[in-house]
Amino acid sequence: MRKLSNEELNRKSVTEFHASEKAPFIIVLDNIRSLNNVGSIFRTADAFIVEALYLCGITATPPHREIQKSALGATESVTWRHFDKTTDAVTHLRESGFMIVSVEQAEGSVSLDKFTPERGKKYALVFGHEVRGVSEEVVSMSDVCIEIPQYGTKHSFNVAVSTGIVLWHLSHKINNIE
């Protein structure tokens, strides 16, 4: 066994990425303070070919050296937009036909393993501040909250890790990969 070279991975060019059919997800970042997390989420969004990334509130926007360090060029492939208020982004997405899904521990939340996205629907996946999570106002605007099962002493994952877990799981389910 040996590692594959970058050429052997046969990855899309930025032009091919832009022309590709996108996954039915827009990621909404609700006041993410860490630029490294923002960059990591750009990279994850690229890996799963998401439709767009909405950066809200204090969430930093490209170009920025600290975002670029972890994004590794994904700010060029992933479409992004900034909103001053997350609630404005959520309102816009709802009016555009998206189901609003906050990733948060909340009353009545659904375990990620029990949530199945439907083909043909579009999903706005809201991820919150590293300490405070998704704002209460946005949680109350959500159609559903999903929660990642955890078994240790900590009550949350890093936001970039959560984004990867949720996108992998939902992509896996929506594509009926068994």
In a domain, residue 110? The reply is yes
Nearest to 170, CA basis, from 14, 162, 70: 162
Q: Does some domain include residue 87? A: yes
154 backbone φψ class: left, alpha, beta (φ>0; ψ -120 to 50): beta
What pLDDT sits at residue 155? 87
The Cα 124–Cα 142 span in angstroms is 9
pLDDT at 7: 87
Asked, for residue 113, whether it belongs to a domain, the answer is yes
* Confidence (pLDDT) at 6: 85
Closest alpha carbon to 29 in 64, 59, 51, 71? 59
* Planar angle of CA 72, 86, 128, nearest 5 degrees: 60
Kindly report the CATH number assigned to the domain that includes residue 162: 3.40.1280.10
Q: Which residue has the tokens 């991820």?
A: 127
Structural domains of the chain, count: 1
User: Could you tell me if residue 151 is inside a domain?
Assistant: yes
In a domain? residue 5: no
Cα separation of 132 and 107, whole Å? 16
Tens digit of each residue's pLDDT, the chain (178 residues): 999 998 899 899 999 999 999 999 999 999 999 999 999 999 999 999 999 999 999 999 999 999 999 999 999 999 999 999 999 999 999 999 999 999 999 999 999 999 999 999 999 999 999 999 999 999 999 999 999 999 999 989 999 999 999 999 999 999 875 4
Q: What is the pLDDT of residue 177?
A: 53
Q: Can you list the alpha helix ranges (DSSP code H) found in 26-135? A: 35-47, 65-71, 74-77, 86-95
Q: What is the DSSP secondary structure assignment for residue 106, as one 8-state letter?
A: -
Q: Given this model, what pLDDT does residue 176 score?
A: 75
Domain-embedded: residue 4: no
Q: Is residue 83 part of a domain?
A: yes
Dihedral over Cα of 171, 97, 59, 74: its sign: positive
Can the peptide bond before residue 63 be classed as cis, meaning omega within 30 degrees of 0? yes
Domain encompassing residue 151: 21-174
Which DSSP helix (H) or strand (E) runs through 28? strand 23-30
